[in-house]
Structure 1
Amino acid sequence: MGDHSHGSPDDSGTVAKAGTGTLDKFQDPGLPPHRKRLADTDPRAEKRAERQVALLFIISIIGTLSFFIAYFVLGRPDSLSEIRVQNSMLGLGTTFAMLGIGIGIVHWAKVLMPDHEVSEMRHAIRPEADRQDAEDIINQVIEETGIKRRPLIRNTLIGAIALAPVPAIFMFRDLEGSGKTAGQLIEQLRHTMWAKDVRLTRDPSGTPIKAADVQIGSVFHVIPEGLNETEDPLNEKAKAVVLLMRLDPTQMNVSPGREDWNVDGIVAYSKICTHVGCPVALYEQQTHHLLCPCHQSTFDLTNECKVIFGPAGRPLPQLPIAVDSNGFLVAQSDFQEPVGPSYWERG
């Protein structure tokens, strides 16, 4: 073993050199030199930084106001284009409301709050009754933020923080105002407009479909008859919309009890993906696969739409169908299982 000249510090802050018996005093290097920022030395830069922080808080306020406009002014949209516009405004408004506050506080801390390092002696723990030190620390923090001497930042921050939670309050109020319990809302998701003898009609025209109209390889986007006359057609459609296709019956694998759910190879399945509820809209005629474009969940139509790829956790629900006396396709009942994502079923 070689002779090492390194030592270790003792409790007094000295270092003993191995093999020498001498002691060297440990030198505290102290804090590194503090480099001042432009806002620390230039009053104009400080004022400019203050305006930047206030602008970010104002952006948060504008985002919240945009949410209000989309929520109250647009009201209940009547078309898909209006729904997209409203959802975009709601999402962007909430995003800017939150980001404006967050980025504003970070920018405030970086350019205006003190950034020098402080070294303090460790003190013995004092009784809880002695709160003076805690009050001094709080006052020091308030003083360092400069919020007292910067009314522009203070007022815009108060406005942004006061408005930011309001959209959530209105949304929760609407849930409460529906007059339905959580169990009732879940139960509502479990059922659709489909029922015995309800005709299958084309989406969006509402024209009834005859079995003779459905050829092998064709795809129909289907809604229940009378859906367009309901009080809330968009919500009803979101649950009830189905895809109608025809297969060669010899290519179909049918489970016991489902033998009469199709009409000579004509089958109807929910269009709502069981992953997160995106519309399944792509049909590969050669492979008889249905594809969800959102996350590529793939369902095998010849095998009762079981999942063969992707994150979906269960098959698309099948709608039992039949033919009425006039040759029109009708439902035998509602879906036998909840449609849509699995979290709808769990509630």
Structure 2
Amino acid sequence: MAHEDDPLEHERASWKPSPGLAVAVTDPVHTPELPPHRERVTDQDPAAMKRAVRTVYTLFYLSIAGSIWAIAAYMLFPIESGRIVDIRNNNLFIGLGIALALLAIGIAAIHWSKAIVSDKEFIEPRHATRGRDTTREAAIQAFADANEESGFGRRVLVRNSMIAALVASIAPGIVLFRGLAPQDSPEHPHAGDPVYLLEQTMWKEGSRLAHDPSGEPIRAADLTLGSAVHVIPEELASLSHHDGYLEEKAKAIVLLVRLLPEDLTESEERKDWSYNGIVAYSKVCTHVGCPVALYEQQTHHLLCPCHQSQFDVTDHAKVLFGPAARPLPQLPITVDDEGYLVARRGFTEPVGPSFWERH
């Protein structure tokens, strides 16, 4: 309560608006009424509602057909054949099938929401949200009302066809994963064995180390101290793309580095794997297979740009940092009678990621 001698209280009591001052009187805010509800054709005509329902589940069935066609196209036009026409048809018809499947689902869902689901407007007053029993009961009733308005529970054909279309739309993607795991065949008996495939490269005894991609053989005398050269087997340069050039190169690519011989730390069994300070390691990272191509000349470290694994070139390319689980495979090398660098033999272990099961 204000004190009777309070000057502020006296000022409030004595205040009167001046004659020229307009005083606005604010009326209470009223909630605007909803506009009159306009019924749709499907609300007025039962036959129109039946047609709308028929259209929706037909679109869902059409989506299922598109998914089935995408799977069939994957089998009818196998990209494993290597023929450019099969690759084009594979991409075209699988894409058309998946596009039809997803587009039909989208159109059906939109038509369902516009023509079948109840569109009556309603007002939902705001209230304090508290976890009372009445609140939970109201939530349950809201789900029941939504189910009734959408017709999800009553319109069995629409519901079942939608579920089937959604499930079928996933099937082409699952089937396409098959291409990531080639299967054995009479022509390729080890196509499904990644360990065997990663053990078999084009490197063999006497294979000359050649520049990538020219295929020009490399003389040991031509390598300067600190140089890092990307090399492939000489035989690979003459291989055509149709004969698997890219597949073989992906496994056989090597980084050749020249250091001072005294900088190398070599185990007894690997003393003859290098030549006069020249060492060769697989470029395929042992983490997930990225190309290890960044060489730090001062530290003698190899860096994988994908996930920053680092390998020590001076010490059998052992892992210094990063997620790689094992050193880079080393290619044993020497020189031939003409002074060209050659492989003593192929890799003694599989190249590439360590997550493959190994012997």
Q: TM-score, normalised by structure 1?
A: 0.61
Cross-structure match for 2:234: 225
User: Following the alignment from structure 2 to structure 1, what is the Cα–Cα distance between the partners of residues 172 and 211?
Assistant: 45
Written as runs of structure 1 = structure 2, the 5 A alignment for 1:30-41 is none
Instruction: Spell out, residue by residue over 1:84-139, the C-alpha distance to the aligned partner (whole angstroms, 9 max, x if none).
Output: x99xx79x969x779949x859967x9577994239xxxxxxxxxxxxxxxxxxxx
**CA 1:268/1:57 → structure 2, altered by over 3 Å: closer, same or farther?**
same
User: Following the alignment from structure 2 to structure 1, what is the Cα–Cα distance between the partners of residues 171 and 284?
Assistant: 39
User: Following the alignment from structure 1 to structure 2, what is the Cα–Cα distance between the partners of residues 157 and 215?
Assistant: 62
Q: Which amino acid aligns with 1:76?
A: G
**2:267 is aligned with 1:255:** yes
Instruction: Spell out, residue by residue over 1:244-295, the C-alpha distance to the aligned partner (whole angstroms, 9 max, x if none).
Output: 0101122221122211211111110000000001111111112211111111
Written as runs of structure 1 = structure 2, the 5 A alignment for 1:127-142 is none
User: Following the alignment from structure 1 to structure 2, what is the Cα–Cα distance between the partners of residues 291 and 169?
Assistant: 32
User: Following the alignment from structure 1 to structure 2, what is the Cα–Cα distance between the partners of residues 77 and 245?
Assistant: 39
Q: Which amino acid aligns with 1:278?
A: C
User: Following the alignment from structure 1 to structure 2, what is the Cα–Cα distance between the partners of residues 72 and 43?
Assistant: 47
Written as runs of structure 1 = structure 2, the 5 A alignment for 1:292-331 is 292-331=304-343
Cross-structure match for 2:82: 76
Written as runs of structure 1 = structure 2, the 5 A alignment for 1:81-230 is 100=102, 111=113, 116-118=142-144, 143-144=154-155, 147=158, 160=169, 166-168=175-177, 175-177=183-185, 179-180=188-189, 186-230=195-239
User: Following the alignment from structure 2 to structure 1, what is the Cα–Cα distance between the partners of residues 342 and 211?
Assistant: 12
Counterpart secondary structure, 1:334: coil
**CA 1:107/1:215 → structure 2, altered by over 3 Å: closer, same or farther?**
farther
User: Following the alignment from structure 2 to structure 1, what is the Cα–Cα distance between the partners of residues 306 and 218?
Assistant: 29
User: Following the alignment from structure 1 to structure 2, what is the Cα–Cα distance between the partners of residues 238 and 331?
Assistant: 18
Tell me how far 1:57 sits from its aligned partner: 5.1
**2:286 is aligned with 1:274:** yes
Number of equivalenced pairs: 275
Cross-structure match for 1:290: 302
Q: Which amino acid aligns with 2:183?
A: L
Q: Which amino acid aligns with 1:273?
A: C
**CA 1:63/1:283 → structure 2, altered by over 3 Å: closer, same or farther?**
farther
Tell me how far 1:320 sits from its aligned partner: 0.7
Tell me how far 1:326 sits from its aligned partner: 0.3
- 2:281–2:329: 8 Å Cα contact kept in structure 1? yes
Tell me how far 1:206 sits from its aligned partner: 0.8
Cross-structure match for 1:341: 353
Select the structure of larger CA radius of gyration.
Answer: 2
User: Following the alignment from structure 2 to structure 1, what is the Cα–Cα distance between the partners of residues 107 and 184?
Assistant: 34
- 1:113–1:145: 8 Å Cα contact kept in structure 2? no
Tell me how far 1:77 sits from its aligned partner: 8.4
Tell me how far 1:61 sits from its aligned partner: 5.5
User: Following the alignment from structure 1 to structure 2, what is the Cα–Cα distance between the partners of residues 315 and 162?
Assistant: 39
Structure 1 unmatched runs, 5+:
1-37, 79-84, 120-139
Instruction: Spell out, residue by residue over 1:131-162, the C-alpha distance to the aligned partner (whole angstroms, 9 max, x if none).
Output: xxxxxxxxx966446518x99x7997698467
**CA 1:105/1:335 → structure 2, altered by over 3 Å: closer, same or farther?**
farther
User: Following the alignment from structure 2 to structure 1, what is the Cα–Cα distance between the partners of residues 165 and 357?
Assistant: 44
Counterpart secondary structure, 1:307: strand
**CA 1:289/1:93 → structure 2, altered by over 3 Å: closer, same or farther?**
farther
User: Following the alignment from structure 1 to structure 2, what is the Cα–Cα distance between the partners of residues 261 and 238?
Assistant: 22
User: Following the alignment from structure 1 to structure 2, what is the Cα–Cα distance between the partners of residues 251 and 99?
Assistant: 62
User: Following the alignment from structure 1 to structure 2, what is the Cα–Cα distance between the partners of residues 176 and 262?
Assistant: 37
Structure 2 unmatched runs, 5+:
1-36, 44-48, 119-140, 146-150
User: Following the alignment from structure 2 to structure 1, what is the Cα–Cα distance between the partners of residues 179 and 281?
Assistant: 36
Q: TM-score, normalised by structure 2?
A: 0.59
Q: Which amino acid aligns with 2:209?
A: L
User: Following the alignment from structure 2 to structure 1, what is the Cα–Cα distance between the partners of residues 291 and 271?
Assistant: 27
Instruction: Spell out, residue by residue over 1:284-309, the C-alpha distance to the aligned partner (whole angstroms, 9 max, x if none).
Output: 11221111111111111122211111
User: Following the alignment from structure 1 to structure 2, what is the Cα–Cα distance between the partners of residues 105 and 165?
Assistant: 24
